[in-house]
């Protein structure tokens, strides 16, 4: 059956989950640590708060049996899993059978071979969880159902507590100074803004914008007045970076003589009839008016074409972009891509409480702490990519890989791997598998591919799951991006299994 809401196919499942949560005395909300996981938690937490459901929030980098056991040991009889849980449903269902808790799973990853009564996942209804609906989008569907199934308040920020990484924990108790999110809406459609941040942060957007169920959620955000959609340059940093830096760091589509060339970017801009500085400071993209933006964009496209950039990549320089209209212009929170990067800089460094507080409206202490973490995150990513390009990757017939050991943090090695694709010595035509030390006994594995490889048959979620389980680990994810944890001594056996699985997938086209 289908019903109302942005994703009618999921309506009945969402309503069932919402009614179970409303009936709970209290809920433990557990979520993943990336931008999609943080926004998933923020959307669900806000909706629970408005529904008057007491809850605590915890974050985890991996939902393994030990983590499920810790959740089972809490005083909460109901556990809500967001942005993970489906892939670990066999473990979750086992604890459910023991009476440890009643699980409500709201996820978009490939489910394990098990089920539970309250399971909201687009893949169960034929919707692609890798490209059409993110974890935050699934949480938004739940939030809309929570509004539908009972009264909601118009107040944001209740007694929600999120675990942090040290004694400076930030309690997510509502908005601090600054504009913050838009006013709450009784139907929870204002939460569409965070759902879009999660989708873009999960790499579900492209030059054409969000598609499928994500597009329907974005439309609800526009109707609610919290989101603006426009056609613009797709470069990262349009809100915060000075114009030369915006172009210099335009790694999405490298333009010869401009990208990765500070002097070249300045020369390019200086050749345009524009006021590039005001009061001695470089202007940003957000500071330009419409005509000035068209001048820069047209010149950049001409430069790319004349310097031989592939036509498809040139086209991707301009596309659909999303702006959070309630946020202050010129800040990281105004642009969904920059917002998602800010969030990645919090929970991946054990400060999920900070990212959650920012999502819930804290524009004071939490935002400043997040900005500090973001500076550290950017430095670590830069150093990680430099290490990969310097040390190189090992190329097999069907994949390429590197083992960073302790040189790249395990929580960001997947981001580094994705950013390294296409750089010097790293092919875009092969999936990449990255290793980092998790502890003395385990390796963290992250795998990244391309949508072109997926169209040929690549499914990294299957590769990571099957190869890791063959050596005593576990894994899963999406077709284009997935991860696993394996015993430290099983790296080579795991790689052999990955090579064979990828070969079977790509040779079967």
Q: What is the mean pLDDT of residues 360-370?
A: 97
Domain assignment of residue 289, yes or no: yes
Average pLDDT of span 389-393? 94
Listed range (4-8, 114-118, 135-139, 144-148) with the worst mean pLDDT? 4-8
* Residue 175: pLDDT over 80: no
Model confidence over 312-353: pLDDT tens digits?
889 989 999 999 999 999 999 999 999 999 999 998 899 999
pLDDT higher than 50, residue 479: yes
Question: DSSP code of 28?
Answer: E
Shared domain for 357 and 402, answered yes or no, is no
**Are 158 and 14 members of one domain?**
yes
pLDDT at 478: 87
Handedness of CA 78, 83, 84, 86 (dihedral sign): positive
DSSP for 118-174 reads SEE-GGGGT--TTTT--HHHHHHHHHHHHHHTS---S----S--B--SSTTPPP--S
Return the residue matching tokens 């105004």: 334
337, 362, 382 - which closes a domain:
382
- 140 in a structural domain: yes
**Confidence label for 156 from pLDDT (cuts 50, 70 and 90):** very low
| Residues 334 and 410 placed together within one structural domain of the fold | no
Among the listed ranges 29-38, 148-157, 183-192, which one has the minimum average pLDDT value? Answer: 148-157
User: Residue 122 gets which letter from DSSP?
Assistant: G
- Flag whether 314 is in a domain: yes
Kind and range of the H or E run holding 471: none
Q: What is the structure's pLDDT at 62?
A: 84
Q: What is the pLDDT of residue 19?
A: 98
What is the structure's pLDDT at 254? 85
Same domain, 396 and 375: no
Determine the pLDDT at residue 508: 63
Q: How confident is the model at residue 151 (pLDDT cuts 50, 70, 90)?
A: confident
Q: What is the pLDDT of residue 509?
A: 54
Q: Are residues 286 and 353 in the same domain?
A: yes
* 278 and 316 co-located in one domain: yes
- In percent, the amount of the chain with pLDDT more than 90 equals 81
User: Is 500 part of any domain?
Assistant: yes
pLDDT computed for residue 176 by the predictor? 41
pLDDT of residue 158: 43
Q: Are residues 452 and 317 in the same domain?
A: no
pLDDT exceeds cutoff 50 at 461: yes
Q: How confident is residue 181, by pLDDT bands cut at 50, 70 and 90?
A: low
- Residue 5 above 80 pLDDT? yes
Pick the last residue of a domain from 363, 382, 401.
Answer: 382
Q: Which domain holds residue 285?
A: 230-382
Query: What is the pLDDT averaged over residues 217-242?
Result: 96
53 assigned to some structural domain? yes
| Over residues 169-173, mean pLDDT | 53
Mean pLDDT of the 132-141 span = 98
Is 430 in the same domain as 461?
Answer: yes
SS3 content of the chain, % helix, strand, coil (to 5): 45, 15, 40
pLDDT band at 179 (very low <50, low <70, confident <90, very high): very low
User: Of 382, 407, 441, at which residue does a domain stop?
Assistant: 382
CATH number of the domain enclosing 484? 3.10.310.40
Q: Are residues 426 and 364 in the same domain?
A: no
Output the pLDDT for position 430. Answer: 96
Whole-model pTM: value is 0.89
State how many domains the chain has.
3
**Per-residue pLDDT tens digits for 120-132:** 999 999 999 989 9
- Report which of 106, 65, 111 is spatially closest to residue 87, judged by C-alpha positions: 111
Given this model, what pLDDT does residue 439 score? 84
Do 251 and 314 lie in one domain? The reply is yes
Of the listed ranges 151-155, 234-238, 469-473, the one predicted with least confidence: 151-155
CATH of the domain at 89: 3.90.1640.30
pLDDT of residue 363: 95
Average model confidence (pLDDT) across the chain: 91
Residue 47 lies in a domain: yes
Confidence at residue 122, expressed as pLDDT on a 0 to 100 scale: 98
Report the candidate in 446, 260, 412 with the shortest Cα–Cα distance to residue 341.
Answer: 412
> What's the N-to-C CA distance of the chain in angstroms?
34
Q: Residues with Cβ < 8 Å from 36, sequence gap 6 or more?
A: 83, 134, 135, 136, 198, 199, 201, 202
Query: Which pLDDT does position 1 carry in this prediction?
Result: 46
Can you tell me whether residue 490 is helix, strand or coil? Answer: helix
pLDDT of residue 313: 85
Q: Is residue 171 part of a domain?
A: no
Establish if 411 belongs to a structural domain: yes
> pLDDT band at 157, cuts 50/70/90?
very low
Rounded-to-integer distance, Cα 239 and Cα 242, Å: 9
Q: Do residues 111 and 34 both lie within one domain?
A: yes
Same domain, 432 and 302: no
As a whole number of angstroms, the distance between CA 486 and CA 479 comes to 19
Asked whether the beta carbons of 195 and 217 are under 8 A apart, the reply is: yes
Q: Which of 172-186, 290-304, 316-330, 405-419 has the lowest mean pLDDT?
A: 172-186
Q: How confident is the model at residue 440 (pLDDT cuts 50, 70, 90)?
A: confident
Q: What is the pLDDT of residues 253-297, one digit of tens each?
A: 889 999 989 999 999 999 998 999 999 999 999 999 999 999 999
């Amino acid at each position: 059956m289908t019903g109302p809401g942005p994703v009618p196919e999921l309506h009945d499942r969402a309503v069932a989950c919402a009614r179970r949560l409303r009936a709970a005395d209290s809920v433990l909300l557990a979520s993943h640590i990336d931008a999609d996981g943080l926004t998933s938690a923020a959307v669900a937490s806000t909706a629970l708060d408005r529904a008057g459901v007491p809850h605590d929030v915890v974050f985890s980098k991996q939902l393994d049996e030990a983590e499920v056991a810790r959740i089972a040991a809490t005083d909460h009889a109901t556990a809500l899993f967001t942005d993970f849980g489906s892939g670990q449903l066999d473990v979750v269902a086992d604890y459910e059978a023991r009476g440890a808790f009643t699980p409500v799973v709201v996820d978009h990853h490939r489910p394990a071979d098990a089920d539970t009564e309250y399971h909201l996942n687009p893949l169960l209804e034929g919707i692609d969880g890798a490209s059409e609906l993110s974890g935050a989008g699934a949480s938004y569907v739940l939030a809309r159902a929570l509004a539908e199934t009972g009264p909601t308040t118009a107040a944001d920020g209740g007694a929600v507590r999120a675990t942090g990484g040290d004694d400076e924990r930030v309690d997510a108790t509502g908005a601090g100074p600054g504009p913050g999110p838009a006013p709450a809406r009784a139907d929870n459609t204002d939460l569409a803004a965070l759902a879009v941040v999660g989708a873009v942060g999960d790499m579900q957007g492209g030059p054409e914008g969000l598609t499928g169920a994500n597009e329907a959620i974005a439309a609800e955000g526009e109707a609610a007045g919290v989101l603006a959609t426009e056609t613009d340059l797709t470069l990262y940093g349009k809100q915060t970076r000075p114009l030369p830096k915006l172009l210099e760091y335009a790694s999405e589509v490298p333009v010869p003589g401009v990208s990765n060339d500070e002097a070249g970017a300045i020369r390019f801009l200086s050749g345009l009839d524009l006021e590039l500085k005001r009061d001695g400071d470089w202007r940003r993209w957000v500071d330009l008016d419409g005509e000035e933006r068209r001048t820069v964009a047209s010149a950049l496209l001409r430069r790319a074409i004349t310097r031989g950039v592939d036509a498809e990549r040139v086209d991707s320089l301009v596309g659909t972009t999303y702006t959070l209209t309630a946020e202050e212009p010129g800040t990281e929170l105004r642009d969904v891509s920059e917002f998602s990067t800010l969030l990645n800089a919090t929970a991946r460094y054990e400060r999920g409480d900070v990212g959650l507080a920012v999502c819930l409206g804290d524009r004071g202490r939490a935002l400043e702490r997040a900005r500090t973490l973001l500076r550290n995150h950017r430095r670590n990513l830069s150093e990680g990519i430099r290490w990969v390009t310097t040390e190189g990757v090992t190329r097999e017939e069907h994949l390429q890989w590197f083992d960073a050991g302790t040189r790249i943090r395990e929580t960001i090695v997947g981001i580094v791997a994705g950013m390294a694709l296409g750089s010097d010595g790293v092919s875009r035509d092969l999936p990449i598998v990255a290793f980092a030390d998790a502890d003395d006994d385990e390796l963290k594995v992250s795998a990244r591919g391309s949508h072109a490889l997926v169209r040929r048959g690549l499914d990294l979620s299957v590769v990571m799951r099957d190869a890791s389980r063959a050596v005593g680990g576990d894994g899963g994810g999406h077709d284009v991006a997935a991860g696993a944890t394996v015993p430290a001594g099983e790296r080579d056996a795991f790689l052999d299994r990955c090579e064979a699985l990828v070969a079977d997938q790509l040779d079967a086209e």
